[in-house]
Structure 1
Amino acid sequence: MPDHISSPAPSWDHFDLAWMKATYPEIRDVVGTDKPDEIGDLPRLAGICGYSPNPYFDECYYVARYPDVRQAIAEKRYVSGFEHYRSIGHRDRSPHWLFNEEYYVVANPDIGRLLRNDTGLRNGYDHYLRTGDAEFRSGSWFFSPFEYIKSTSDEIVRTPFRHYLAHQSGYSNSAWFDTDWYMTSYPEVLDAIRRGEWRSILHHYLYGKNHGHYDPCPYFSERFYVESNPDIRDAIASGQFNSGYEHFLLYGVKERRQPHPDVDLDQYGHSPYVQALLRNGRRPDIFVSYCRDRGVSPDVDAALELAETATKYAFEKKCSVLSINAARRPLDFSYERPDVSIIMALHNNFNMTINALTALRASHGGGLHLILVDGGSEDETRDLQRYVTGATILHFPGNIGFVRACNAAIAHVEAPVVLFLNNDTEIQPGAITAALQRFRHHPRTGVVGAKLVRTNGMLQEAGTIIFRDGSVAGYMRGKSPDIPEANFVRQADSCSGACLFTRADLLRQLDGFDEAYIPAYYEETDYCVRVWKSGHEIVYDPSVTAIHYEYGSSDLTSGASYINRNRLIFMGRHTDYLSRKLVRSELNTNTARSPSRSGARRILFIDDRIPLRNYGSGFSRANDIVTTMAEAGHAVTIFPIFKPLVHPSHLYTAFPDTVEIIWDRDLPDLDAFLAQRAGLYDVIWMSRTQNVRRLVPVIERTAHLMSRTMLVADTEAVSSVRDEQKDRLHGIPEDRLPDLADRLRAEFECLFVASRIVAVNALDARLLTDHGFTGVPVLGHLQTPRPGPRPWKERSGLLFVGSIHHRDSPNFDSLEWLVTHLWPMLEHVLPDDAKLLVAGHIGPAASLVGLPRSPRIAYLGEHADLAPLYDSARLFIAPTRYAAGIPYKLHEAAAHGLPAVASDILCRQLGWQDGHEILQARTGDEVDFLRVIANAYGNPALWARLRYNLQARITTENDRGTYAETIDGILNAP
């Protein structure tokens, strides 16, 4: 690469002669020329004297940071750190104390995608200088462009980083570095800066190893962190990390390592408020959140409970604002074919009525038949026809009460579904559509109830529970409305009449509400019990959401007296029903939240993470298992060993809406979780052997809470086989290899805690049987044939699909081998239009930046829909060199009708025949892979035969019905 002075865009890869002369005046005598191309012996001189070639590369920092660079210079392999960086260091090293390559790529996933493909960018720093700085991106935890701009109010700054390099005494605070605290704690640093020893506060902190003498903020101790984590000492000494703090920011904070003897991130992170801040991106990580809160998180739920009176006042104010404008623009409820008839009983409270009707009209675009029943109102409610058009309005001279008013309206119902809605209730957008879909797709549903949220933002109820004494409790009352327990569809005993949907024909069949409960309270509970007795179901649906001004239509005192009276009436009406209910107890809440169903099991499913399909690595299979269980009518709860890294909204779309997803807790919370749900679960399904091992201590501590629970250990894959393959691949001598039988015994030891063992394929089942486990069922992958329509002649190239969670994974190893060893050979034998497409989830601990790039390799990253890729490629390639279980990606490729070339270890796992369903090549043998691919790529007859046989295989082995039967057999095993 030739040396050059200038560049069309800012670049680190040049000698800036003018800048060097200004920075190092002494070189003017050495380099007398002003011609850009005549730099003479300047590179060697710069290396000897430690001169930086331009403002973007710090020679002294780079050499001091990386011991191997110093060694290479001493051995005269490079004349300077800059030469090393230009040659190989740019791939993964940091060139300047205020830029971190790994931070930049991880913090900006779009940059990672750019760098994985041939875009003309050599590394993240190249992008940062050319584009990222002007986009106000940050290249380091320690430099916030917006904070820096605040300190430069007297001028316009379009590239903060470049500006800072020219004015390094500028002030630059950041979320991870407390400049004010640093100056106060270490006043000697300011003196050193004044003497010219350092350019700025950041320069002092970041430039050299301080060995624990200086900390970045009061909540991180360098000395404590390094002493507490001896595993990172060698990495710091080798230059992999500049300090313990850099390791903490890259990895330690995610692993919840302790940064300071007085800082407990785990305890702090259990606050729901903190978790919400992190989920919504208001705090970049838990450590920054801790620093800003000084370790004290507010009890938001308690504060909101105390503030309910104030929030009710605020709600009333909002209602009054709407009522002022109501006459100017009447609400139009005209309809032709109504989707739903809404019954609203009224007595005064005009402002709230207008608010409720405004929200109702805005919530649904279809036809709404509004029936308003006014019982002797004395306020503006008497003249509602001035404010509402197209509604049926019934007037009564006196206050006839809620029950009688609702019953009077039933005769006017025209729609197939009826919504009872209080005038102190604000229904939310989408609620009506969700309820109508529930009735449309589930004929046995008789009532759909809402998630009711009080004015203070806390739950009033997520469905209600009826106890044996006839009392009724709102499930999850007083909790946050986003908690997992309130956000899945389930059967409930009853639901509040403040927002209750029911079928119109069923309402007429049951003669509406029982007027024994006049004027109100318990009428909807009684109705729901009669719905149950009629053979229909009560369903709580969290998509049906409404804000309720509780006791807006009556005061709390009178409400309590009606409740006590009507509970006794209810008990007399339904003694038979109540005899089967649980005794009222806080400990019975979770067990009582849903009526038991014949044949349905309550299942707790535990995996590493919430199993999203795009994660691969066995998570697709786990997702299929959960989905199949839920579709069979079982009540499934998912509990992760590790909290999810994605927003909960991603999780709820990945499973049937009846699945409860505990996304806000993880393994340390499991003991308390099981205690809260003692006796609830019929089955605990533990996915992956390593998780069973993690769960053994928990099971031993809580066994008395689940004496009748079936414990299923789903091995997912036998890792000992994979580990032995990996050791052999890496050249571990035979005499140092652990015996496979010993590995298997150690791996299987934890499985004896389970009452049922599941294997993913016949090979694993035999290994388990050989170690004393009997009756091991095989549960593989679920697939449905869906071959892409594109013919052979319109396809080209190879497709690699695999999730990479870390660089030590089999998928990363196989991809690295493919692009480094095999693909350069394939480029010479495949047509010019043949490309290698690489797709799949890439975890935060994995990076493909260092892999070879080529115009004929496209690193596509994660794709929501892989079908177009399967339909465009001619062959699928799976050159895995060590593996366990069954490769889901090969089953998926087969289902899409894409023939595959795979290593022989994968073919043995599948049990597929070479040349019949798959093409086999020797593991790790690029010559054999080259031969197989070259012979197959231009052979349409072979391609068609493989495709046909694959579809037959998938139809026979991966059928949905067979899959469901296997799971049913596991759950109902004696």
Structure 2
Amino acid sequence: MPDNALPYRYSWDHFDLAWIRDTYPETREIIGGDTADIGDLPRLAGLCGYSPNPYFDERYYVARYPDVRQAIDQGRYLSGFDHYRKAGHRDRNPHWLFSEQYYVTTNPDIGRLLLNDSSLRNGYDHYLRFGDAEFRTGSWFFDPLEYIKSTTNEIIRTPFSHYLLHPSGYSNSAWFDTDWYMATYPQVLDAIRRGEWRSILHHYLHNKSDGHFDPCPYFSERFYVQSNPDIRDAILSGQFNSGYEHFLLYGLRERRQPHPDVDLARYACVPAVQEDLRSGRRPNPFIAYCRDKGAPPDIDAILEQTEDATKYAFEKKCTVLSFNAARRPLDFSHGRPDVSVIIALHNHFDMTINALTALRASHDGGIQLILVDGGSQDETRDLERYVRGATILRLPGNVGFVRACNAAIEHVAAPFVLFLNNDTEIQPGSIAAALQHFRRHSSTGVIGAKLIRTNGLLQEAGTIIFRDGSVAGYLRGRRPDSPEANFVRRVDTCSGACLFTRTDLLRRLGGFDEAYIPAYYEETDYCVRVWKSGSEVVYDPSINAIHYEYGSSDHTSGAGYINRNRLIFNGRHTDFLARKLVRSERTIATARSPFRPGARRILFVEDQIPLRQYGSGFTRANDIVTTMAMAGHEVTLFPIFKPLVHPSHLHAAFPDTVEIIWDRDLPDLERFLAQRAGLYDVIWVSRTQNVRRLIPVIEQTAHLMPQTMLVADTEAVSAVRDEQKDRLHGMTDEQMPSLTERLRAEFECLFIASRIVAVNARDARLLSDHGFADVRVLGHMQTPRPGGRPWTERSGLLFVGAIHHRDSPNFDALEWLVTQLWPMLEPLLPDDAKLLVAGHIGPAASLAGLPQSPRIVYLGEQADLTQFYDSARLFIAPTRYAAGIPYKLHEAAAHGLPAVASDILCRQLDWADGDEILWARANDSTDFLRVITNAYDNPTLWARLRYNMQAHIAMENDYRLYTRLIEGILTSTG
């Protein structure tokens, strides 16, 4: 069948004769009816710039890609459309309002679908067939919902198609300021009226502006291109239509400056901006800047000023809830309670009902509610009408918090007690979190909550006691999602507004000291006595409560009690106070948590917050941090680059005692260290390039941490990998630096460190040869967990590797595997044998363009790979250049999956060929073919490999050994 008679299959891949006649009237004499042969249209499209249908723009395509114009002139293609059908559909953009790369990278599910569904030719095909109807967008500049708003009296099911078929349609987006553009370039409107352009957006995206047209007042095309000369050739070649397109795809993520007057890095640090980014209200700092016009609101200041208003709103809500309790009384009937809750009352009926409503909703288990009413005169006297199953104690007068709580202690039936103010709303899950903490940590005697004021800002995240007996709520006035407020730590004391303790400890210590009657300092005194008894006081951010400060007392009178009781407290605990720090803003970070004997305070610096799914050394970093925390050390994680995922995702990945600084990065580190002067015993820097990045910061702050150990964890010696890569690409010895020169350049920055860590013995020898003494080796941690599925029930091969960018060892290995090895291997394997490909794919990476096959399954990132390790027969790692030590092979071994790997990786492991692993020569498809086919149907070999590699994992990667190695690094002074 001739090319011009190809059957219509894809919505963009056909000649729409009716549309062509309407769009280009001069073609009517050439084109007959709708069913007529298209004749010479393909050639006319190339000569005259005719588009074949509304979904492909011939003139844009040819202007965008100079190599296409050249190919047409040389006669290799009839038109741009001809080129796109045959080759360009893989990675080119067919229309000025669609970006293939944008669509695939912003919709990861589509990227995986394209790799595994051969009926889809590219992202554009998916967009026109499905994505448009799902209200997805294929461009920064087209918002389908905004477009629908601009239309009237129509049901629009496919906004993009509708827009293309209606020349008068209006498209608005956050990335392009239409009104500003019209006001700045009025000549464009005249050109549109003359019919030269169909819209403002068409003019901007179609023309090559060369710096003459900007999309908004906060991006300068001329400035951006001049400031980034590395992108000029890419724009000229058509890889990018403009500097703005590069900025949107890469520059924004790389923190390139969009305009001489726009500092996005500084702007992104503004708390209001960070909140908008986390909540999804703004997709990135640039859009936030555009919408705020560079002036974000000071939300914290606004919230601080509106506390009175939020308290009034709180009171109104309490009133409504009391009506509900009158109709449906709150039921606290219980059998064997999990916790006994003591609430002291004096009037404030509505607030009490609010507190009890929140309490009942917060926990599904048994709650013993003990209410102590000290002579209330309001509706509290009839509380039995509103609450069932509670123990209500009536005292003759307002005896105060201390005596009321002590009166309740003898009635406690549960193993744990919660003291709760009646102006406090405990949040769901808090009681369960406290109970879990007590059961896991026998040393904990008291747990305090994260207290949030009615205005949404913190009242405290634990409380500090200073040497003069004064106390300060840590982080008061800060946001409750601040990194410093969201990790478990030991504290001096915590507020009695929401305080958990063990019943036996409470009774042994005699409850609250009645010297502090009526209130204030009683919980501080109790916490100090808990410390003296040998138990710990802990702040746990999983316990949350909203507190209406001074809702049940008077702030003015409270100040008098505080001053009086502080003197009593000081007299009782002079020994404890002697060990406390003098009150100062500069000592807050050190004072926030009492020192734990034998523990180290460690700042761990890494490229990113090390999530396990990122691979590429991040899994090892995660293991190191986790092991440190589990050993009782206080670890702070600080990233060189801010994370791209939500903070909640980060907190789930580490022990709850790890402090994760997710809202700051390298430009903030110097100030961060200044604020925490003298706090850290150890600064552990992961990766040599990060040591190099930190040298200026360390030099500026060295006087603030003279005794701090600086650990340089090389993670992997990249010079070895770089040399392998250069040789792979055909470079000769004369064309590239020697390995010695590369190593010297890489290691030069490490002399600033107190201790050097290598990932394997080979790297350690390289470091020792360059003058570094006593290099410690710290590899990977693994626990054998072999899958139970037998050899006969397994099939296929498994490839696992994180791909952060296309210029990475894992992408190179995967590309070689699916393009070179698999086509040779597939016919030799049973029909049920598939190649499974799994691993994280970063925002700068894409697997688009890799071969598709019914027997290649691209899984993408998986939360748990166990089922794949348990179903595959062999693991394959055909890496052609690498550094360090391959975690993926250790993980496969831990799961009991024998592996075939390149000799490069096998030497890193130092495992014997045929005993623990199967070797194949890197970049040698014939050798890989031989090894795999020999092993695939050999159950005896499979069983021997499985047994031996499990033994290696148990001996070399054990958790206890790993812990001892880390302790040796942290404590040794040699």
State TM-score, norm by structure 2. Answer: 0.99
Q: Is the 8 A contact 1:4 1:15 kept in 2?
A: no
**In structure 1, C-alpha distance between the alignment counterparts of 2:937 and 2:324, rounded to whole Å:** 73
The reply to whether residue 733 of structure 1 matches residue 732 of structure 2 is yes
Partners of 1:881 and 1:13 in 2: CA distance: 39
Instruction: Provide the rounded CA distance (Å) in 2 between the counterparts of 1:614 and 1:35.
Output: 54
Q: What residue in structure 1 maps to residue 168 of structure 2?
A: 169
Q: How far 1:10 moved relative to its partner? A: 6.1
* Unaligned runs of at least 5 residues, structure 1: none
Return the alpha-carbon distance in structure 2 between the equivalents of residues 280 and 356 of structure 1.
Answer: 28
Task: Give the secondary structure class of the aligned counterpart of 1:215.
Answer: coil
Measured in 2, the distance between the counterparts of 1:624 and 1:648 equals 19
Structure 1 counterpart of 2:933: 934
**Structure 2 CA distance, aligned partners of 1:691 and 1:881?**
25
CA–CA separation in structure 2 for the residues paired with 1:121 and 1:881: 31
Aligned to 1:365: 364
Q: Quote the residue 1:330 is aligned against.
A: 329
Kindly indicate whether residue 833 of structure 2 is the aligned counterpart of residue 834 of structure 1.
Answer: yes
SS at match of 2:12: coil
Query: 1:818 Cα deviation (Å)?
Result: 0.4
Say whether residues 1:276 and 2:275 are aligned partners.
Answer: yes
Q: Distance in 2 between matches of 1:280 and 1:358?
A: 28
- Residue of structure 2 equivalent to 1:628: 627
Q: How much does 1:643 deviate? A: 0.5
1:755-785: per-residue Cα shift (whole Å, max 9, x none)? 0000000000000000011111110000000
Write the mapping of 1:232-381 to structure 2, written as runs, cut at 5 A: 232-381=231-380
Following the alignment from structure 2 to structure 1, what is the Cα–Cα distance between the partners of residues 556 and 243?
61
- 1:121 corresponds in structure 2 to 120
Match of 1:18 in 2: 18
In structure 2, the partner of 1:708 is 707
**1:476 — aligned with what?**
475
Any idea what the Cα deviations from partners look like across 1:429-479, whole Å, max 9, x if unmatched?
Answer: 000000001111111110011000001100000010111000111011110
In structure 2, what residue type is equivalent to 1:166?
Answer: L
> Counterpart amino acid of 1:20?
I
- State the shift of 1:9 in Å: 7.5
| Conservation of the 8 A alpha-carbon contact between 1:4 and 1:14 | no
Show the counterpart of 2:131: 132
Which residue of the partner structure matches residue 40 of structure 1?
39
Q: Measured at CA, do residues 879 and 473 of structure 1 come closer, stay the same or move farther in structure 2, by a change above 3 Å?
A: same
Structure 1 equivalent of residue 656 of structure 2: 657
Please state how far the C-alpha of 1:27 moved relative to its aligned partner: 2.3
Q: Which residue number in structure 1 is paired with residue 555 of structure 2?
A: 556
Runs of 5+ consecutive residues of structure 2 not aligned to the other structure: none
**SS of the residue 1:378 aligns to:** coil
Residue 816 of structure 1 corresponds to 815
Could you say which residue in structure 1 is the equivalent of 2:686? 687
C-alpha distance in structure 2 between counterparts of 1:793 and 1:765, whole Å: 41
- Contact 1:718–1:885 (8 Å) recurs in 2: yes
Deviations 1:122-151 (A, max 9, x none): 111000110111111111111111111112
Kindly state the Cα deviation for residue 325 of structure 1 after the two structures are TM-superposed. Answer: 2.6
1:650-690 per-residue CA deviation (whole Å, 9 max, x = no partner) reads 11111110111000100000011101100000000000101
What is the deviation of 1:228?
1.4
1:5 touches 1:17 (CA, 8 Å); kept in 2?
A: no
Query: What amino acid is the match of 2:192?
Result: I
* In 2, Cα distance between equivalents of 1:276 and 1:850: 37
- In the alignment, is the contact (CA less than 8 A) between 2:4 and 2:38 conserved in 1? no
Taking structure 1 as reference, are residues 829 and 412 closer, same or farther at Cα in structure 2, changes over 3 Å only? Answer: same
Deviations 1:770-807 (A, max 9, x none): 00111111100000000111111111100000000000
Find runs of 4+ consecutive structure 1 residues off by over 4 angstroms. 1-10
- CA shift, 1:34, in A, is 4.3
Match of 1:414 in 2: 413
Partner of 1:189: 188
Distance (Å, rounded) in 1 between the aligned partners of 2:763 and 2:448: 46
Is the 8 Å Cα contact of residues 13 and 86 (structure 1) preserved in structure 2?
yes
| Partner-residue secondary structure (3-state), 1:501 | strand
Correspondences of 1:743-758 after superposition (within 5 Å): 743-758=742-757
Distance 1:153 1:662 in 2: 48
Residue 481 of structure 2 is aligned to residue 495 of structure 1: no
| 1:348-371 alpha-carbon deviations (Å, 9 max, x no partner) | 000100000000000000000000
Separation (CA, whole Å) in 1 of partners of 2:202 and 2:373: 74
Deviation at 1:733, TM superposition (A): 2.3
User: Does the 8 A contact of 1:5 with 1:15 survive in 2?
Assistant: no
3-state DSSP class of the match of 2:734?
helix
Q: How does 1:414-813 map to 2 (within 5 A)?
A: 414-813=413-812
Q: Which amino acid aligns with 1:845?
A: A
Give deviations 1:899-922, integer Å, cap 9, x for gaps.
Answer: 000000101100000011111111
CA distance in 2, matches of 1:382, 1:3: 91
Could you tell me whether the CA contact under 8 Å between 2:8 and 2:14 is conserved in 1? no
| Change over 3 Å in CA distance of 1:15–1:520 after alignment to 2 | same
Distance 1:10 1:741, change over 3 A: closer
TM-score of the superposition, structure 1-length normalised?
0.99
Alpha-carbon distance in structure 1 between the residues aligned to 2:408 and 2:8: 76
1:5–1:14 contact (8 Å) kept in structure 2: no
How far apart, CA to CA, are the structure 2 residues paired with 1:322 and 1:586? 41
Decide which moves more: 732-741 or 610-619. Answer: 732-741
Distance 2:885 2:707 in 1: 32
- Distance, in Å, in 2 between the alignment partners of 1:5 and 1:569 is 97
Matches within 5 A, 1:881-960: 881-960=880-959
Look up the equivalent residue of 1:691 and give its one-letter code: N
Instruction: Give me the identity figure in percent.
Output: 79
When structure 1 is superposed on structure 2, of 303-312 and 422-431 the one drifting more is 303-312
Q: Name the counterpart of 2:396.
A: 397
3-state SS of the aligned residue for 1:326? helix
> 1:230 aligns to what?
229
The 8 Å contact of residues 118 and 852 in structure 2, kept in 1 or not, is answered as no
Post-superposition Cα deviations, 1:675-727, rounded to whole Å, max 9, x if no partner, equal 11000000000001010010111100000010000000000000000000000
Secondary structure of the equivalent of 1:173? coil
The answer as to whether partners of 1:338 and 1:415 remain within 8 angstroms in 2 is yes
Structure 2 vs 1, CA of residues 309 and 8 (structure 1 numbering), >3 Å: closer, same or farther?
Answer: farther
* Matches of 2:519 and 2:793, distance apart in 1: 70
Aligned counterparts of 1:149 and 1:10: Cα–Cα separation in 2: 25
Partners of 1:640 and 1:666 within 8 A in 2: yes
Contact 2:4 2:42 in 1 (8 A): no
- Match of 2:449, SS state, is strand
- The alpha carbon displacement at 1:25 in A equals 2.4
Query: Shift of residue 42 of structure 1?
Result: 2.1
Q: 2:776 aligns to what SS in structure 1?
A: coil
- The CA deviation string for residues 859-886 of structure 1, in whole angstroms up to 9 with x for no partner, is 0000000010001100000000000000
* C-alpha distance in structure 2 between counterparts of 1:119 and 1:487, whole Å: 46
Secondary structure, counterpart of 2:545 in structure 1: strand
Residues in 2 aligned to 1:450 and 1:832: alpha-carbon distance in whole angstroms = 59
Partner SS, residue 838 of structure 1: strand
Which amino acid is the alignment partner of residue 868 of structure 2? L
Do the aligned residues in 2 keep the contact of 1:5 with 1:16 (CA within 8 Å)? no
Aligned to 2:723, the other structure's residue is in SS state: helix
- In the alignment, the residues of structure 2 paired with residue 197 and residue 631 of structure 1 have an alpha-carbon distance, to the nearest angstrom, of 68
**Which residue does the alignment assign to 1:30?**
30
Change (3 A) 1:33 1:361: closer
State how many pairs are aligned. 973
Q: 1:289 to 1:815 in 2, by over 3 A?
A: same
Residue type at the aligned position of 1:856: R
Q: Which whole-Å CA distance do the structure 2 matches of 1:878 and 1:325 have between them? A: 64
SS at match of 2:593: coil
Q: Letter of the aligned partner of 2:288 in structure 1?
A: S
Deviates more, 1:594-603 or 1:7-16: 7-16
Is the CA contact 1:416–1:505 (under 8 Å) kept in the aligned structure 2? yes
Deviation at 1:188, TM superposition (A): 1.3
Provide the residue aligned with 1:825 in structure 2: 824
Report deviation, 1:402. Answer: 0.5
Q: Comparing 708-717 with 728-737, which one deviates more in the overlay?
A: 728-737
Amino acid at match of 1:144: D
C-alpha distance in 2 between matches for 1:551 and 1:932? 75
> CA–CA distance in 2 between the matches of 1:357 and 1:838?
53
Kept in 2: contact 1:420–1:498 (CA 8 A): yes
Give the letter for the 1:159 counterpart.
T
CA positional deviation for 1:32: 3.6
3-state SS of 2:291 partner: helix
Q: Is the 8 A contact 1:364 1:432 kept in 2?
A: yes
